[in-house]
Structure 1
Amino acid sequence: MLRLWGRTSSINVRKVVWCAQELGLTVQRTDAGGHFGLVQEDDYLRLNPNGLVPLLQDGDLALWESNVIVRYLCARYGADRPAPPYPQDLAERFTAEKWMDWQQTTVNPAGRHAFLQLIRTPPGQRQQALVDASVTQMQPLLERLDRHLEGRDHMVGTRFGMADIPLACEVHRWFGLPLARPVLPNVERWYAGLAARSGAVGVLDQSLS
């Protein structure tokens, strides 16, 4: 039995939930983080010294960092699938790795303040300058993603793969904000296709909180 700690209001937990659903895995999930607490308890910190979510336990293996967990699940449980989400070809694999790291190190920090201000900050306490800065940083990144997806149905190769998960979760969060955005035909087409997947139920159809 796989065990997952984390609340589904977290973008990083949503990545893992979606990945597990795509692979047909049974996961025992425990709400943690935010008002659920648990993450600063000694038992949790022994497994995840960062005190953050998500945390995945597969037998004696404990993993944190959401994109690492997605990679692990795809490699460990998706290799025998007719269309494995973990690329076997090295060029495809590390192209997927590149985009997954880009999501975590570049896109997520750019959009984070707009999300925190517009969704998790009471209206009277919001700082519009932080929202505006996020919009300024996100626009060229979304345009870069749109150019990459021109003529593509997936981030890497010709089929659904591990890189689609974190990027689509990021787009889900950005598209859920009450903001005007530029027309992004390729991103919108790609995202709509992913949102229609059965594995994305409860993830890409979830409201932000």
Structure 2
Amino acid sequence: MLRIWGRNSSINVQKVMWTVEELGLPHERIDAGGVYGFVDTDDYVRLNPNRLVPTIDDDGFVLWESHAIVRYLCARHSAGRLWPDDLRVRADADRWMEWMESVIVPSLRPVFWQLIRTRSEDRNPDAIAAGVADLARQFAILDTALADRDFVAGDSLTMGDIPIGCATYRYFGLNIEHPSLPNVEAWYQRLTERPAFRVQVMMPIT
């Protein structure tokens, strides 16, 4: 059985868990990281020397890094659907996975940490304002890309929607000013209609 280490409040774990739920895979998730600890134990370090979550063990095959795990599970269990057969469609999906990590995360992380995990009296308003402005510009790029398609790589959900979908849930859940993003909002509404997204991603932001 597929085993997954990681707390369900972690955005990186949520990417994997949404994928697993979407695919209907039998699995066991073990709380690790954050308040659960365990990532510094010898047993875990043998699995993942980075001491981070998530990590999976799929019948003896150990893998870490959330996007690598999402790609692996989609390729193994959803070829032609979440893992597109068409190389160009797959590259398009892959592009949005990397865009989320290289463009959205550096702006979202400081805003999230300041508003969610920092006491109000210790917050940095300038850092928040800069991140919010960056996110508005970045999500405008996604809004333009979604003008002629239902999902990031075309007409159906692919692996490309998973990381940025998790980030968008956090973005819309933050008490900040959000620009008008009609195409992103329509795409996000489609995500919220998926049971796997509601179960594994739409939870309190902590």
Q: Give the TM-score taking structure 1 as reference length.
A: 0.95
What secondary structure sits across from 2:147 in the alignment?
A: coil
- The equivalent residue for 2:12 is 12
Instruction: State the distance in 2 between where 1:185 and 1:27 align.
Output: 36
Residue 191 in 1 paired to residue 184 in 2? Answer: no
Q: Deviations over 1:104-127 (max 9, x none)?
A: 111111110000110111212211
Shift of 1:202: 2.1
Large movers: runs of 4+ above 4 Å: none
Secondary structure, aligned partner of 1:4: strand
> Is the 1:176–1:207 contact (alpha carbons within 8 Å) kept by the matching residues of 2?
no
2:38 maps to which residue?
A: 38
CA offsets 1:176-197 (integer angstroms, 9 cap, x no match): 1010110100000000101110
Which residue of structure 1 lines up, in the alignment, with residue 138 of structure 2?
Answer: 141
On the 8 A contact 2:151/2:161 being kept in 1, the answer is yes
SS of equivalent to 1:49: coil
1:15/1:66 contact within 8 Å kept? yes
Backbone CA RMSD of aligned residues: 1.0
Q: CA deviation at 1:166?
A: 0.6
Amino acid at match of 1:162: M
How do 1:118-157 and structure 2 match up within 5 A? 118-157=115-154
Q: Does 1:108 align with 2:109?
A: no
| 2:132–2:177 CA contact under 8 A, matched in 1 | no
- The separation in 1 between residues aligned to 2:178 and 2:33, in whole angstroms, is 31
| 1:61 lines up with 2:61 in the alignment | yes
Report how many aligned residue pairs link the two structures.
Answer: 206
Structure 1, unpaired ranges of 5+: none
Write out per-residue CA displacement over residues 50-96 of structure 1, whole angstroms, 9 at most, x where no aligned residue.
111111110121111111111111001112xxx62101111111111
Aligned equivalent of 1:200 = 197
Equivalent position SS for 1:171 = helix
- Partner Cα distance (1:204, 1:78) in 2: 20
- Whichever structure has more helix as a proportion of its residues is 2
State whether residues 195 and 204 of structure 1, in contact with CA within 8 Å, keep that contact through their aligned partners in structure 2. Answer: no
Amino acid at match of 1:22: E
Separation in 1, partners of 2:96, 2:83:
13
Amino acid in structure 2 at the alignment position of 1:185: P
Equivalent position of 1:173 in the other structure: 170
**Does the 8 A contact of 2:11 with 2:166 survive in 1?**
yes
* Cα distance between partner residues in 2 of 1:9 and 1:97: 24
